[in-house]
Structure 1
Amino acid sequence: MTKKKIPMRKCVVTNERFEKKQLLRVVKTPEGKVIFDKTGKANGRGAYVSKSKAVIEKAKKTKILAKHLETDIPESVYENLLKWIENE
């Protein structure tokens, strides 16, 4: 029996590679709206961020998500990411 391949993704802030499950995904939908994708399956361009409060705050400060998704990121997306980490 062959081993199942584990999907790996890179955090846009730290440039470290992790399993897809260990990261949070932010998506720019085809309509141009930016959302936090809890399922990891939303349609659109995605960027991954580590599940760390410090990393999310750094992403907000450096505007790295805005660079990767080529659009402005609403404050509510960062708030949703931080809430998700606190509740997990």
Structure 2
Amino acid sequence: MKAKKIPMRMCLGCQEMKPKKELLRIVKKAHSNDIQVDLTGKMSGRGCYICKNIDCLEKALKSKKIERALETSLTEDIIEQMRKEVSNE
């Protein structure tokens, strides 16, 4: 039997390739420019991935990699929501 392929994605903080299920997805909705944390990994829109690690999140925020990947600026409440989701894991 053939082994199932595991989708890999790159974390914006540490720049490591990891399985998609281990990462947190951040999505910018296509028409509304609304930014959300995607817990299912299936929302439509432009997305980027970050480790469920506070150090990776802070590194990506400091270097503005998340803002560049989503092509928009982040509000303080979105940043707090991301920090909360990362610290829950």
TM-score of the superposed pair, with normalisation by structure 2: 0.89
Cα separation, 2, equivalents of 1:39 and 1:77:
17
1:15 is matched with which residue?
15
2:28 is matched with which residue?
28
Q: Are 1:2 and 2:2 an aligned pair?
A: yes
Q: Which runs of 5+ in 1 are unaligned?
A: none
The secondary structure found in structure 1 opposite 2:13 is coil
Aligned residue pairs, count: 88
1:64 is matched with which residue?
65
How far residue 77 of structure 1 moved from its aligned partner, in angstroms, is 2.1
How far residue 58 of structure 1 moved from its aligned partner, in angstroms, is 1.5
Cα separation, 1, equivalents of 2:16 and 2:62:
19
What is the Cα-based RMSD across aligned positions, in Å?
1.2
Q: Which runs of 5+ in 2 are unaligned?
A: none
**Identity rate of aligned residues, in percent?**
43
2:86 is matched with which residue?
85
Which amino acid letter does the alignment assign opposite residue 15 of structure 2? N
Deviations 1:23-61 (A, max 9, x none): 111111112111111111110011001111111112221
Cα separation, 1, equivalents of 2:44 and 2:4:
24
Cα separation, 2, equivalents of 1:71 and 1:19:
26
Deviations 1:2-25 (A, max 9, x none): 111111101122210000011111
